[in-house]
């Protein structure tokens, strides 16, 4: 049985959590393949909103097992809080949430290093969520990291100490004013390790291999979005993992030829949280309306998200890199009431019209070229079937499908599980 992927095509927060939750009924296993608690995946049903950071978004369904893959970085402190929140809803996770031994651990000092690095950068800061993601992946590729499987060894505290001591020296090297009480942070960390150890640690690549052989249906859940990919995103304003389809292979140990559907999620407009270039960003009333109606505040940090028109140049780039076979368009309801909509179909790049994403997309190099379309006025949030969608929205969808050459299979018209239209 093949593995399907679901990933974000923009700068994150496309609605991955909602759609994974909607699709989980058709899968046996949901597996997160990269990122860490910099992610905030929101699910809404029965009038309650849940935000997940590390735990896969299939966790509310009894039919599926959830796997935290080797490509994920885990902060035990945040992880414990997530577990407690879920247990508050009566979920018993002791056999439905499995953790890869090869996943790396975020230490308290990784978080401090993140803060020191951002402070030292000043105006050039990445706008990191400060969850220690960059420093943890640096230790992973630098071959210094502490992994979940190490917690089963007798000497893991010595390994921890050696790494934390090195981090302290590095924090001092930055020579910035970071206030912290390491003893307190460590007490919290060691206490939280206990909650992590209560869950099964597995060789997740072998588990997923056997599951495929047994005909189980697997959905790989991405975090962040393609434009935040360490290689293909708007470097250096990116995260520190491969958020694109290839990241699912290395983040789970799934071979490329086992992957079947690649589901790409995008908003009907664009948002970005943190620093970095954003060609279609709006600074006017339209952008303000998107942010207000779309409730565009980060699920992890609460920061306002920057808003702008849909960028098809960037979206095509993401579709190509990921090999997207199906698209899902989110938040169409947020655009209800706009008389006219703009879609960026090309860039003016240093005086020339181009239709591919160039190396530099900073404002001094790139001006978006827009195609204008009619908006729709109808409230979409109560609609439940494709036949109910207004003509202007169907025209918008048809235009995007023609440009991207990939079908839009889901149109989401609100945050709730039920506000999902299949086409």
Q: Give the footprint of Mg ion on this chain (CB under 5 A).
A: 13, 40, 299
Residue closer to ligand GDP, measured from CB, 161 or 422: 422
SS3 312: helix
In the bound complex, what is the minimum distance in angstroms from residue 336's beta carbon to Mg ion?
22
- Residues 40 to 99 in contact with ligand GDP, rule: CB under 6 A: 40-42, 44
Beta strands in 203-269 (DSSP E): 218-225, 259-267
Count other C-beta atoms under 10 Å from residue 28's C-beta: 17
How many other C-beta atoms are found inside a 10 Å radius of the C-beta of residue 418? 11
Q: Which does 331 bind (CB under 5 to 8 A by kind): ligand IMO, ligand GDP, Mg ion, none?
A: ligand GDP
Distance CA 144, CA 160 (A): 10
Is 41 tagged catalytic? yes
User: Catalytic one among 13, 21, 229, 311?
Assistant: 13
d(CA 394, CA 381): 16
251 binds ligand IMO (CB under 6 A): no
| 3-class secondary structure, 333 | helix
Residue 356 bears catalytic tag: no
Give the residue with the Cβ less far from Mg ion, 318 or 397. 318
CA-to-CA distance for 210 and 205, rounded, in angstroms?
A: 9
Residue 12 touches ligand IMO, criterion: CB under 6 A: yes
Give 330: exposed, middle or buried? Use CB within 10 Å, 0-12, 13-18, 19+. buried
* Residue 127, contacted partner among ligand GDP, ligand IMO, Mg ion, none, CB below 5-8 A by kind: ligand IMO
Is 394 in a helix, a strand, or coil?
helix
Say if residues 264 and 314 touch (Cβ distance below 8 Å): no
Q: Which of 346, 422, 353, 416 is CA-nearest to residue 384?
A: 422
In angstroms, rounded to a whole number, what is the distance separating the alpha carbons of residues 248 and 255?
Answer: 9
Query: By C-beta, is 299 or 319 nearer to ligand IMO?
Result: 299
**Cα 135 from Cα 146, distance rounded (Å):** 12
Q: Which is nearer to ligand GDP, 90 or 302 (CB)?
A: 302
Task: Verify binding: residue 131, ligand IMO, rule CB under 6 A.
Answer: yes
Shortest CB 243 distance to ligand IMO, Å: 8
Residues 298-357 that bind ligand GDP (CB under 6 A): 299, 330-331, 333-334
Residues in the chain: 423
Q: Residue 412 binds which entry of ligand GDP, ligand IMO, Mg ion, none, with Cβ cut-offs from 5 to 8 Å by kind? A: ligand GDP
> Catalytic amino acids?
13, 41
List residues near ligand IMO by CB under 6 A.
8, 11-13, 35, 38-41, 126-129, 131, 133-134, 223-225, 228, 239, 273-274, 299
List residues near ligand GDP by CB under 6 A.
8, 12-18, 39-42, 44, 294, 299, 330-331, 333-334, 412-415
């Amino acid at each position: 049985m093949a593995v399907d992927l679901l990933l974000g095509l923009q700068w994150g927060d496309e609605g991955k959590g909602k759609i994974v939750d909607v699709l989980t009924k058709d899968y046996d296993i949901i597996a997160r393949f990269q990122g860490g608690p910099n992610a905030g995946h929101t699910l809404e049903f029965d009038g309650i909103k849940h935000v997940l950071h590390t735990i896969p978004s299939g966790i509310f369904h009894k039919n599926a097992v959830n796997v935290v893959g080797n490509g994920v970085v885990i902060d035990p402190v945040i992880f414990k809080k997530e577990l407690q929140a879920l247990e508050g809803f009566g979920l018993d996770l002791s056999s439905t949430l499995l953790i890869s031994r090869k996943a790396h651990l975020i230490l308290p000092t990784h978080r401090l290093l993140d803060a020191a690095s951002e402070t030292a950068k000043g105006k050039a800061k990445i706008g990191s969520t400060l969850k220690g993601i960059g420093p943890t992946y640096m230790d992973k590729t630098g071959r210094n990291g502490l992994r979940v499987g190490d917690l089963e060894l007798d000497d893991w505290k010595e390994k921890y100490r050696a790494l934390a001591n090195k981090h302290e020296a590095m924090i001092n090297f930055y020579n910035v004013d970071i206030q912290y009480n390491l003893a307190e942070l460590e007490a919290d960390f060691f206490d939280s390790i206990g909650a992590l150890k209560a869950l099964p640690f597995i060789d997740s690549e072998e588990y997923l291999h056997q599951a495929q052989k047994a005909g189980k249906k697997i959905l790989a859940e991405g975090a962040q979005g393609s434009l935040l990919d360490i290689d293909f995103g708007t470097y250096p304003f990116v995260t520190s993992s491969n958020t694109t389809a290839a990241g699912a292979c290395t983040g789970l140990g799934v071979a490329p030829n086992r992957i079947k559907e690649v589901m790409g999620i995008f908003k009907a407009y664009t948002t970005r949280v943190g620093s970095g270039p954003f060609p279609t960003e709006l600074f006017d009333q339209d952008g303000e309306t998107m942010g207000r109606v779309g409730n565009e505040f980060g699920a992890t940090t609460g920061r306002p998200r920057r808003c702008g028109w849909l960028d098809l140049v960037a979206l095509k780039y993401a579709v190509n890199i990921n090999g997207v076979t199906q698209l899902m368009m989110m938040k169409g309801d947020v655009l209800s009431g706009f008389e006219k909509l703009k879609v960026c179909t090309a860039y003016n790049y240093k005086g020339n019209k181009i239709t591919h994403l160039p190396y530099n997309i900073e404002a001094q190099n790139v001006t978006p070229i827009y195609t204008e379309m009619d908006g729709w006025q109808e409230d979409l949030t109560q609609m439940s079937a494709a036949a109910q969608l207004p003509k202007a929205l169907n025209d918008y969808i048809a235009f995007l499908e023609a440009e991207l050459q990939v079908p839009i299979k889901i149109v989401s018209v609100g945050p709730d599980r039920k506000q999902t239209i299949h086409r």
